[in-house]
Structure 1
Amino acid sequence: MYTLPKIERFNQNVLSKYNIYNSVFITLPFDSIDNTGVMLPLFTDVCETGFKKQETPKEIMEFFSKKYLHSTNEKEQIDLMFRFIQYIERQIVLFDAIEDAAFPVVNNMEGRGSLRDIKEKADARGAKEELVAFLKDFNVRTVLTAHPTQFYPGAVLGIINDLTKAIRENDLLRIKQLLAQLGKTPFIKNEKPNPFDEAVSLIWYLENVFYPTSSDMIHYLQKNVFQGETVDNSIIKLGFWPGGDRDGNPFVTTEITLKVADRLRTSILKCYYMEVRRLKRKLTFFNVDVLIAELEDKLYRSVFYSQGDIFITLDELKSQLNKIKNIVVEQHESLYLDELESLIINVNLFGFYFATLDIRQNSRIHDAVFRDVFDYYQKNDPSVFPKNYYELTEAEKFDVLSNAKGNLNGADFEDVMTRSTIESIQAIKTIQAKNGEQGANRYIISNNESALNVMETLAMIRLTDWEQPTVDVIPLFESVDDLLDSHNIMEKLYTNPMYAAHLKNRGNIQTIMLGFSDGTKDGGYLMANWSIYQAKEALTAISRKYDVEVIFFDGRGGPPARGGGKTHKFYASLGPNIENKEIQITVQGQTISSNFGTLDSCRHNLENLLSAGVTNQVFNKTNNILSPEDKEVMGQLSELGYEKYLSFKNHPKFIPYLEKMSTLKYYAKTNIGSRPSKRSKSASLDFKDLRAIPFVGSWSQLKQNVPGFYGVGAALRRFEETGEWDKVQALYDNSMFFRTLLENSMMSLAKSFFPLTAYMKNDPEFGEFWQNIYDEFLDTKRLLLKIAGHKELMENYPDGKASIEIRERIVLPLLTIQQYALLRINELNKADKPDEALIKVYEKIVMRSLFGNTNASRNSA
């Protein structure tokens, strides 16, 4: 049977349906929308034509007002802008739902990267035994974080879910109802969510998407690869940050941490209860019905009648289910065995914890906390630390820390940060007692700069009367310098007797986290990615030297500038010199909803990650090795890109440009996440304290996407100018790692739109700075097209390109409105007596348009 090309499937199932349902939306009678549905297409055309004529957002807005409003009344203009924003926000939701509905049709669920594809390739290549051995030892861990990169409230996410189902079923009446509901549902939260609210929102995905998808995948492997044998290895693991990630978030308290852990346990028990209820209707056989009813009763009481008490242990639950399974197999012809095995798989996967709650804190906070702990012991027990501790060498400090014992209690400290840090360690113990060790057994140190950061953290954990802690200390290396030094830091730890003993107690496994987002912010696109690659190679070598199994945990965001893009291709391209027994990634914001938001997209993307590991270690294990010449070229490119990016970052107009010309300061005013937009409370903007999300997001709102390409063009141009282009061309042709890196940069370019801000080139303060960015954009675009042999960006991903183009057209009026509002704010601020009330109205317009622009960018993931 002939299958249509992917772009044609996209056009038929996404583009055509969007045009149809959008025309239905336009005709719905909304008081608040009025004639917006008629006016908006006209405004979109005026924007497109205006930018082609190199008009400014102000000129476009004024022309539209005169021609179609027949008025230059500012109040009327503002009212219309707000109505446009409301309408466009809902168009984006409609497009999201249509893309989600079409996902299994546009993407071949049984094609390349699927479990079926893995199995068939292994059969064809005679690698079945190798595949089985690999799957017994390999895991994919997706860690859900509450980083604010999507702004839909829960009610709107619910509508997207229902709308997706209605569109898939072509239920026009239901679609009209949901579009009407969408038109009347507020998109803006009046209050910031607290970390528990964020946790509850993400647990929805655990219950409704990851839970059924995980068991389906393991069940498939059990039946088709393991020939019915039970898979002991979990293969899929889930992690969770809301409620445990304290880095820069003062609203994460010990109470919230424990509350989130309790909610995770209740949620997984609820999932088991619902599955047991469904099974009870089927397993009505003699000797089985009583056992299943007993399980239902105990789970029901644990979920609905419990104040934290559990009326069944995990061992009891497993034992009872296996007993039922044996009776079904031996006495009842294995009737409904598949459904029963699905539940058993989930119980084995998720225990009573569902997802591991990670605790994270910044090394700078730890420094202050540790000094407080030191002062406490100087007063209460001077034998723990010598008085001259802070004058000792690093090695001498290690000796002291190795022997430190105590019974620290958070209640002993007045300082809030010290108290909460020690309480977070005590919370890990409490969670493990209730949810099992997997409930919380990882402590991540962000901005880790030294081995001492790790040793002092481990000492603090041991000082809470925890001689042999069942917790992994995970350093997070983020800056270019720290990535470069990371293997030396780990060698100091591996060779320390106390740390080595701790690792032995943890199975000689060391997890190391690497930060793409802050790496790019610090060193630019090429240097960040190459530094992480080199760090992984060096860390693999040093870990193998000391018989430690290293696991890399990648802090990735949605857009390419934050480690997103075609993520699975990175893992498939790593080669044998980088340990890859587990793929661990953070998943956040619109990446959760776009990549893991439905059963189809979740399965497709989890299978692709699993397939990437198989490709790298089973099918292509001798491929993807960068030669010394390749590494030299990569090193030169990253150094050239780094020089260009550093000169840009150190430009005197860099920070002022972000503060005055972008939406950066508005991120702090949005009610989208519990976490502040920068780490410090200082009024002035310190680049080091700036979080990667508002940094990357501000460039995205400007449609300049600087972090995803700046320095790439300068690096490639040097090779072109020196007549060595063949070197980079060969690297692109032969290295999947480098090719994926540049393809993701092309995505950043494809989502840029410089006509929007072209008016800035005439700005007396920032004109030269804007031109600098635009020149690098043009250079990068020209050279990336040259190296790929393409005429257009992303031409090898026509469906992705088409999706971006539609989304960009939907938000073009929104972007124009935002820039117009920013221009008006600057004008009003320059007046002798600024109209504060009017400035606040325009600031509200900027923030509202910020939401829609970000939500529309979900396909950056």
Structure 2
Amino acid sequence: MTTNRDDKDLPLRDDIRLLGRLLGDAVRDQEGEATFDLVEQTRQAAVRFAREGRAEDRARLHALLDTLPPATMLSVVRAFAYFLQLANIAEDTHRARRRRSHEAMGSPPREGTLAFALDAVRAAIGNDAVARERLQQFFAEALIAPVLTAHPTEVQRQSTQVAMQQVADLLERRDRMVLTAEEQAESDIALQRQVLTLWHTRLVRGERLRVIDEVKNGIGYYRSTFFTEVPRLYANTAALLHERFPGADFPLGTFLRVGSWIGGDRDGNPFVTADILRDTLRLQAAAAFDFYLEEVHALGGMLSISRTLHSITPELDALAANSPDKSVQRLDEPYRRALSGVYARLVATMRRLELPPPTRAALGEGVPYAEAVELRADLQVVRDALVRTQLPLLASGRLQRLLTAVEVFGFHLAPLDLRQNADVHEQVVAELLAQAGVCANYLALTEEARVALLAAELAGTRPVYSPHLVYSEDVQRELDIVFAARAMRERYGHSALPHYIISKCDGVSDLLEVALMLKEAGLATGGAAPSLGLDIIPLFETISDLQRAGTTMSAAFALPIYRALVQSRGDVQEVMLGYSDSNKDGGFLTSGWELYQAELALMTVFTSAGVKLRFFHGRGGSVGRGGGPSYDAILAQPSGAVSGQIRLTEQGEVIASKYATPDVGRRNLELLVAATLEATLTDHENQADKAVTFHPVMDRLSALAFRAYRALVYETPGFTQYFRESTPLAEIATLNIGSRPASRKPSDRIEDLRAIPWVFAWAQCRCMLPGWYGFGTAVAQWLQETPDGLPVLQRMATRWPFFRTLLSNVDMVLAKSDLRVASRYSELVSDDALRGQIFGAIEAEWQRTREALRLITGEEQLLADNPLLARSIANRFPYMDPLNHLQIALLKRHRDLLAAGGNVDEHVRRGIHLTINGIAAGLRNSG
């Protein structure tokens, strides 16, 4: 009997049916038989329409849904939205199930695992001694850092996420254990209870998120995943290395860190203030200390070793003697007494840092730790004692993981990035210089004059800020941030705030302005030995900025004062590349190619300057914002661009999909490490003659795609009207899914709209335009110019990871788009001629793009080489059609009411927000 994929996917289908049945039971019991029947009829019609596209099935949806009363419509929306959430859980559970099955069968390591990456490195190098040496160097110097950001596409409430996690836990328990009949019944009831609770849990927020709410949400992922899974990944890495290189010493260092922007990113977010920064760091530190206290307490319960039965080391004896724990019951238990002392010192440290007191008091007073390295030293004493007295098994596991956690998370939990727009910095510096009498009109200076003036100020030691002067409110707010940053670094350690990112950086003066602000706060110094306390990171994000990135950094390094500041940071300079705004500016094809070329140019400049380059990739969840599989994206970087160090943003709903559960979180962290390892130590790009044969082709394709994209988005009269009317953009702006405004400036221009709602709105109407528009025209026109060029494109697809990944992302976005649905949204456009013109152009380009992909790949079906995603879409997308249908109806009602001067109907508004939530859940990476 053969086993096919359908057999393997049977447990997934069973889980989806189970969860769907439980949800249906909840709808029937709580809303009545009539509502349940309506949902079921809608489901059947939607599935038929998705599979066959028959007009009568679409008409059936209209008949069922268009005239529903508001309360019933809300119930239908909630039913489909929750089903998509539950289907996502079933899919994640199934992925974990298949992974365990492969491992249990002893299958060869798969791509994306550390085992596969280590074997690939050994095979590529071909000499175990050399491979061992390079791996030792890699792990000693590597820095791999996913950075959580608070962007307004995470539509799930934390309450919903917690409830969903409990459903996932119950499914996993059923999958892992052989249950008795009684246990099976208990599991069924527990799932039923949880789905019922979900049905009565509010899906959308009643109030807009505050920044501090976003901070708390972000910290939740450390509690659920990172505290346990980051140390586990370190331990697994060490085990795999020793398995392949027995006896070799691999000091791993802290190669993996999880960073955050949440609470430090004030670009376009006026609600991030100095007080928010202080509160953020306090909440982060409190979470770290709570975890350490729980672990130390648990270890004390485990290590009940008596000195009457086993020897100890003098160092442990001294640590136990210094403990405030003097209980006669534990006088012979040095490990417990030592750990009680560690606990007391942690509590004293919390008091010194003014953190909330722990729920479990210490047994006495301890001396506060000055920094996390002292805590780690005490824990190391405990570990060394176990190892040296022949109890190494007890030294591994929980104790080793806690040691790793302390080294990675410190007292600050996560390195927090500060970020602000270059335009704001220049206003601050202009006012500082004017108030100090240095320059009356800094803004009127040329770039060369600005650089000369700032360089002179940085080289000197005099301040330009004075506490005795009065500054404007906006400027004082920015100054308060940098002064607070200095105080917080002194309190929690320099690792708490290591980076300052400059959005929209387009010149050397942008770098120097931040350096001057830091100097005024005592975070940089001038004089004979200039120094910098934080990394200053330029963010190049428009097409023109990317094209000038190499020139900008070359000019910066040529400036003696800036070169000296970089030298004080260990001759390491980080550069951030913006995927979102470059895509909105020039389209996805040109954005991807200009990012690639910017990396090549920057590598040349940095090599010449003798500075180590670390890239920070500002990727979003969707392809339109640089998203797509992280593993493929890292391997698609130019050779030499990774070099063991990479940071990348994890944004919006992607954070929940990747890190909400420990198993999925560990898998995604492992993917990042494995990809970085392969990209650094193997010839993953297979350079050959790409620069000669492939790059010129991409130059031309990019130029053609850019022209097509700009012609539609920026040069077609009425396009902005079409976009705003055919998508729920305005309604997204009122959805309480983030603290940040949708636009940087109060205008209707596409240029001023943030990239996140731009992409999110196109995803809601199932058009996905930012992820594919322009590709079809580019390929068609290039093939007209080069009639024998198709084999070249096919070679690019098979031999060049960059182009192969680009095609894969187009394939995914086309599969997730549905122009039948998008055409119904276009009917919301009030101008018939405009609708026909622009939707006609979109539809024609979609067909051209689909045909170009078919020609290059030779595949007649979308996602032919990605059956997992194809299955996922087949499972979930039919249940999105009713949500799209209802969203269109609700948008029309809402807009007609507003146009007539009426008040907002709360049922309608809530229904729109619920459909946005459900469609985002179905798409999974929509923002």
**Alignment TM class, shorter chain as reference:** over 0.9
- Could you tell me which residue of structure 2 aligns to residue 638 of structure 1? 702
Q: Which amino acid aligns with 1:779?
A: R
Using the TM superposition, name which of 406-415 and 796-805 deviates more. Answer: 406-415
Among candidates 902, 907, 923, match of residue 836 of structure 1: 902
- What SS does the corresponding residue of 2:575 show, helix, strand or coil? strand
Post-superposition CA distance 1:164-191 (Å, at most 9, x none): 0101122222111100110111112111
Distance 1:4 1:288, change over 3 A: farther
Among candidates 349, 353, 359, match of residue 418 of structure 2: 359
Cα distance in 2 for residues equivalent to 1:31 and 1:852: 20
Cα distance in 2 for residues equivalent to 1:396 and 1:719: 46
Distance 1:123 1:579, change over 3 A: closer
- Could you tell me which residue of structure 2 aligns to residue 699 of structure 1? 762
Cα distance in 2 for residues equivalent to 1:648 and 1:345: 52
- Could you tell me which residue of structure 2 aligns to residue 307 of structure 1? 354
Distance 1:777 1:98, change over 3 A: same
Cα distance in 1 for residues equivalent to 2:49 and 2:96: 38
Matched, 1:854 2:854: no
Check the 8 A contact 2:640/2:680 in 1, yes or no: no
Cα distance in 2 for residues equivalent to 1:763 and 1:330: 82
Q: Which amino acid aligns with 1:791?
A: E
Q: Which amino acid aligns with 1:291?
A: A
Check the 8 A contact 2:556/2:562 in 1, yes or no: yes
Matched, 1:782 2:851: yes
Matched, 1:63 2:63: yes
Report deviation, 1:542: 0.1
- What SS does the corresponding residue of 2:258 show, helix, strand or coil? strand
Residues 183-222 of structure 1: matches in 2 within 5 Å?
183-222=199-238
Distance 1:689 1:389, change over 3 A: closer
Among candidates 452, 474, 478, match of residue 396 of structure 1: 452
- Could you tell me which residue of structure 1 aligns to residue 283 of structure 2? 263
Cα distance in 1 for residues equivalent to 2:377 and 2:60: 70
- Could you tell me which residue of structure 2 aligns to residue 275 of structure 1? 295
- Could you tell me which residue of structure 2 aligns to residue 156 of structure 1? 160
Post-superposition CA distance 1:274-321 (Å, at most 9, x none): 111121112222332221111122224545897349932323212211
Residues 427-442 of structure 1: matches in 2 within 5 Å?
427-442=484-499
Structure 1 gaps, min length 5: 66-71
Post-superposition CA distance 1:5-50 (Å, at most 9, x none): 66753x2232331012211221235434664333223123334656
Q: Which amino acid aligns with 2:552?
A: I
Distance 1:316 1:577, change over 3 A: closer
Structure 2 gaps, min length 5: 104-108, 175-186, 308-333, 357-366, 526-530
Among candidates 793, 816, 824, match of residue 728 of structure 1: 793
Cα distance in 1 for residues equivalent to 2:558 and 2:76: 62
Residues 32-47 of structure 1: matches in 2 within 5 Å?
32=31, 35-47=34-46
Distance 1:36 1:786, change over 3 A: farther
- Could you tell me which residue of structure 1 aligns to residue 384 of structure 2? 326
Q: Which amino acid aligns with 2:480?
A: E
Report deviation, 1:488: 0.6
TM-score by length of 1: 0.93
Report deviation, 1:785: 2.0
Matched, 1:589 2:652: yes
Cα distance in 1 for residues equivalent to 2:238 and 2:880: 45
Distance 1:672 1:416, change over 3 A: same
Matched, 1:546 2:604: no
Q: Which amino acid aligns with 1:99?
A: E
- Could you tell me which residue of structure 1 aligns to residue 885 of structure 2? 816
Among candidates 750, 754, 762, match of residue 687 of structure 1: 750
Distance 1:414 1:848, change over 3 A: farther
- Could you tell me which residue of structure 1 aligns to residue 738 of structure 2? 673
Check the 8 A contact 1:96/1:160 in 2, yes or no: no
- What SS does the corresponding residue of 1:147 show, helix, strand or coil? coil
TM-score by length of 2: 0.86
Among candidates 824, 828, 841, match of residue 772 of structure 1: 841
Cα distance in 1 for residues equivalent to 2:251 and 2:161: 35
Report deviation, 1:63: 2.0
Cα distance in 2 for residues equivalent to 1:490 and 1:57: 59
RMSD value over aligned CA atoms? 2.6
How many equivalent residue pairs? 841
Among candidates 247, 258, 267, match of residue 238 of structure 1: 258
Using the TM superposition, name which of 749-758 and 639-648 deviates more. Answer: 749-758
Matched, 1:84 2:79: no
Cα distance in 2 for residues equivalent to 1:584 and 1:729: 31
Check the 8 A contact 1:269/1:302 in 2, yes or no: no
Distance 1:82 1:411, change over 3 A: farther
- Could you tell me which residue of structure 2 aligns to residue 18 of structure 1? 16
- Could you tell me which residue of structure 1 aligns to residue 324 of structure 2? none
- What SS does the corresponding residue of 1:144 show, helix, strand or coil? strand
Check the 8 A contact 2:150/2:651 in 1, yes or no: yes
- Could you tell me which residue of structure 1 aligns to residue 181 of structure 2? none
Residues 311-710 of structure 1: matches in 2 within 5 Å?
311-313=368-370, 314-338=372-396, 339-378=398-437, 382=438, 385=439, 390-391=444-445, 393-394=448-449, 395-403=451-459, 405-406=462-463, 408=465, 412-466=469-523, 467=525, 468-620=531-683, 623-624=686-687, 626-649=690-713, 650-680=715-745, 682=746, 684-710=747-773
Check the 8 A contact 2:772/2:849 in 1, yes or no: yes
Post-superposition CA distance 1:333-380 (Å, at most 9, x none): 2241112221111111121111111110011112222222222212xx
Matched, 1:168 2:233: no
Identity %: 24
Distance 1:399 1:848, change over 3 A: same
Check the 8 A contact 2:797/2:804 in 1, yes or no: yes
Report deviation, 1:600: 1.7
- What SS does the corresponding residue of 1:671 show, helix, strand or coil? coil
- Could you tell me which residue of structure 2 aligns to residue 68 of structure 1? none
Q: Which amino acid aligns with 1:219?
A: A
Distance 1:487 1:308, change over 3 A: same
Check the 8 A contact 2:596/2:638 in 1, yes or no: no
Check the 8 A contact 1:661/1:822 in 2, yes or no: no
Using the TM superposition, name which of 249-258 and 366-375 deviates more. Answer: 366-375
Check the 8 A contact 2:431/2:471 in 1, yes or no: no
Check the 8 A contact 1:353/1:439 in 2, yes or no: yes
Check the 8 A contact 2:635/2:684 in 1, yes or no: no
Residues 68-147 of structure 1: matches in 2 within 5 Å?
74=67, 76-107=68-99, 111-122=110-121, 125=126, 126=128, 127-147=131-151
